[in-house]
């Protein structure tokens, strides 16, 4: 008997060089194997009118969460469990490949897309969005760098960056109150701006640091990397000080000014490029799951039955540096903040006021916990709180008897799943196709008896949708010498 650990999914590595997994579907890496990905659960009762193409969570001065979203014709705000239209009069017309972006500047939420002036909504006082004052440019991207609102990729030039006056989002006159603009040369379109005390501008083929230096220059622009940038605007997310992004040559992480570090090379870069459906770059979005230390890239795969929305998410555990993926239909992912409690949700959870465990003045009622948020294909806000999805984990090639042909007779998965099936895939040479056994079911003692002969084998374990389980971290394999080739 030999023991095989379920390790890092590495579909770009082959043969005995792949010490990890050949498949890891609807699971996420935990560092001690894999755990199940759950199905989407709808949170809102009334969704958007059309497909979600942008969403954002903001907190007001009281710490209360405010959730905004947009589709091609409207902007919305979540009230209780229902999205209500908070568009300016006449609404909007967002073209098919564009998206809404949002940023918070103090108590103001600002939304951008290139077909309209930037829109603003003041938390606590606005009832609808309105055109941002000061004649700012219409732009694709937005961030807040120090005390300035920064817009990128505007209708005058896709490589242009413009910033507001100091601490004034309605001041856009160049040279007044430090407002100005900068054209970035050589790196292509501005694809995203990461805000903070220092700004990081991601173009198609460059990454530039934007540092405030004060008058007369206002900002200093320093190229950090050339010939590497962001492949598409939705494929980037910041978690703490670290930015995770997809470039034209694969997946990377970047911590501040440090050089970008590949996280997908010889693991998933080739797999992703082969499975991404052509002409769907604009539908890629990112989300993060802080509780499980995960970053996810959502995309339309080559086996999607409907290319108008994503069906797959690539999953990266940033703590363990391990990959997996999940299959579920949805419209987008984004890093959300939990909603606060309402009187209706409190009354549903507690039988009486006397049974409520904390004061109504407590911060617990205002929400604000980061979570992985999504929009499902009914245009409703959702989280991953449903039943476990059907999971498949498949090992890389292994030898049942080192250097010899072997007969595999039994798998004993190391898992708390009580319902599981398995097949053994075997071949004589790596040039040969894998030949699969018929599917065998787990017995009451945890064994899955089967029989497969060959020089090299792979174990594929399948757990049905809705099954109750929390971990799968390996399997014991019974194999014996089976003669020479």
Whether 32 and 110 map to the same domain: the answer is no
For residue range 167-186, list pLDDT tens digits in order: 999 999 999 999 999 999 99
Q: Using CB atoms within 10 A of its CB, is residue 128 exposed (0-12), middle (13-18) or buried (19+)? A: middle
How far is the CA of 377 from the CAs of 42, 47, 333, in angstroms? 10, 10, 12
Q: Using CB atoms within 10 A of its CB, is residue 403 exposed (0-12), middle (13-18) or buried (19+)? A: exposed
Whether 330 and 427 map to the same domain: the answer is no
Instruction: Report the alpha-carbon distance of residue 275 to residue 330 in Å, rounded.
Output: 17
Strands of 227-363 (E only): list them.
236-239, 242-247, 250-255, 261-262, 285-289, 294-299, 312-317, 322-327, 332-337
Whether 94 and 175 map to the same domain: the answer is yes
Question: Of 321, 355, 383, which marks where a domain is finished?
Answer: 383
Residue 351: per-residue pLDDT: 63
Whether 143 and 225 map to the same domain: the answer is yes
Whether 118 and 248 map to the same domain: the answer is yes
pLDDT bucket at 359, cuts 50 / 70 / 90: low
Whether 413 and 433 map to the same domain: the answer is yes
pLDDT bucket at 347, cuts 50 / 70 / 90: low
Which H/E stretch holds residue 334? strand 332-337
Between 373 and 347, the higher pLDDT residue: 373
The residue segments making up the domain with residue 330 are 44-340+363-383
Closest by CA position to 424, among listed 432, 435, 414, 433: 435
> Does residue 346 belong to any structural domain of this protein?
no
Whether 396 and 309 map to the same domain: the answer is no
Whether 14 and 132 map to the same domain: the answer is no
Whether 170 and 215 map to the same domain: the answer is yes
Residue 20: per-residue pLDDT: 84
> Does residue 352 belong to any structural domain of this protein?
no
How many CB atoms neighbour CB 354 within 10 A? 6
> Does residue 349 belong to any structural domain of this protein?
no
What separation, in Å, do the N-terminal and C-terminal C-alpha atoms of the chain show?
A: 22
Contact (CB, 8 A) for 78 and 86? no
> Does residue 121 belong to any structural domain of this protein?
yes
pLDDT bucket at 333, cuts 50 / 70 / 90: very high
Give me the CATH number covering residue 149: 2.130.10.10
> Does residue 207 belong to any structural domain of this protein?
yes
Give the residue carrying structure tokens 């890496």. 29
pLDDT at 383 over 60: yes
Give me the CATH number covering residue 19: 2.60.120
- Return the half-sphere exposure (C-beta side, CA atoms, 13 A cut-off) of residue 108: 20
Residue 344: per-residue pLDDT: 66
Instruction: Report the alpha-carbon distance of residue 106 to residue 147 in Å, rounded.
Output: 10
pLDDT at 366 over 80: no
For residue range 264-321, list pLDDT tens digits in order: 999 999 999 999 999 999 999 999 999 999 999 999 999 999 999 999 999 999 999 9
Whether 376 and 476 map to the same domain: the answer is no
Our count of domains for the chain comes to 2
Whether 55 and 122 map to the same domain: the answer is yes
Rg of the chain over all Cα atoms, to the nearest angstrom: 25
Share of the chain above pLDDT 90, in %: 89
Residue 230: per-residue pLDDT: 98
For residue range 28-39, list pLDDT tens digits in order: 999 889 999 999
Instruction: Report the alpha-carbon distance of residue 160 to residue 152 in Å, rounded.
Output: 6
Q: What is the dihedral of CA 157, 192, 249, 458, to 10 degrees?
A: -150
Share of the chain above pLDDT 70, in %: 94
Instruction: Report the alpha-carbon distance of residue 301 to residue 272 in Å, rounded.
Output: 9
pLDDT at 346 over 70: no
Question: Of 348, 383, 418, which marks where a domain is finished?
Answer: 383
> Does residue 354 belong to any structural domain of this protein?
no
Whether 261 and 407 map to the same domain: the answer is no
């Amino acid at each position: 008997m030999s023991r095989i650990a379920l390790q890092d999914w590495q579909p770009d590595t082959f043969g005995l060089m792949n010490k990890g997994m050949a498949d890891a579907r609807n699971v996420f890496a935990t560092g001690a194997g894999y755990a199940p990905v759950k199905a989407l659960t709808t949170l809102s009762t009334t969704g958007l009118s059309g497909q979600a193409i942008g969403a954002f969570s903001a907190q007001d001065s009281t710490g209360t969460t405010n959730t905004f979203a947009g589709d091609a014709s409207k902007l919305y705000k979540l009230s209780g469990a229902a999205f209500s239209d908070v568009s300016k009069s006449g609404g909007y017309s967002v073209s098919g490949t564009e998206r809404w972006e949002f940023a918070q500047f103090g108590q103001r939420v600002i939304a951008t897309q290139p077909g309209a002036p930037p829109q603003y909504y003041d938390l606590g006082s606005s009832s609808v969005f309105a055109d941002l004052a000061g004649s700012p440019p219409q732009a694709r991207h937005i961030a807040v760098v120090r005390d300035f609102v920064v817009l990128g990729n505007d209708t005058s030039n896709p490589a242009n960056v413009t910033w507001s006056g100091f601490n004034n989002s309605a001041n856009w006159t160049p040279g007044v109150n430090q407002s100005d603009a900068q054209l970035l040369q050589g790196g292509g379109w501005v694809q995203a701006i990461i805000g903070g005390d220092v700004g990081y501008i991601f173009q198609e083929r460059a990454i530039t640091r934007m540092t405030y230096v004060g008058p007369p220059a206002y900002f200093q622009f320093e190229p950090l990397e050339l010939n590497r940038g962001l492949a598409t605007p939705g494929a980037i997310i910041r978690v703490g000080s670290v930015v995770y992004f997809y470039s034209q040559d694969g997946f990377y992480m970047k911590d501040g000014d440090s050089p970008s570090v590949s996280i997908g090379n010889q693991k998933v870069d080739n797999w992703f490029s082969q499975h991404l459906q052509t002409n769907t770059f604009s539908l890629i979005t990112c989300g993060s799951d802080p509780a499980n230390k995960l970053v996810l890239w959502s995309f339309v795969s080559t086996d999607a039955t409907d290319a108008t929305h994503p069906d797959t998410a690539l999953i990266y555990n940033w703590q363990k540096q391990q990959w997996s993926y999940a299959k579920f239909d949805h419209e987008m992912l984004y890093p959300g903040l939990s909603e606060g409690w309402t009187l209706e949700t409190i009354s549903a959870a507690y039988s009486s006021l006397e049974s409520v465990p904390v004061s109504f003045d407590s911060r617990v009622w205002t929400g604000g916990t980061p979570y992985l948020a999504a929009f499902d294909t009914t245009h409703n806000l959702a989280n991953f709180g449903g039943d476990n999805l059907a999971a498949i984990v498949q090992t890389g090639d292994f030898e049942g008897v080192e250097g010899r042909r072997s007969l595999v007779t039994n798998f004993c998965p190391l898992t708390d799943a009580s319902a599981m099936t398995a097949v053994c895939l075997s071949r004589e040479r790596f040039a040969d196709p894998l030949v699969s056994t018929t599917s065998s079911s787990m017995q009451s003692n945890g064994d899955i008896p089967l029989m497969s002969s060959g020089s090299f084998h792979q174990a594929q374990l399948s757990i049905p949708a809705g099954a109750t389980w929390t971990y799968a971290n390996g399997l014991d394999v019974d194999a014996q010498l089976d003669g020479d080739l």
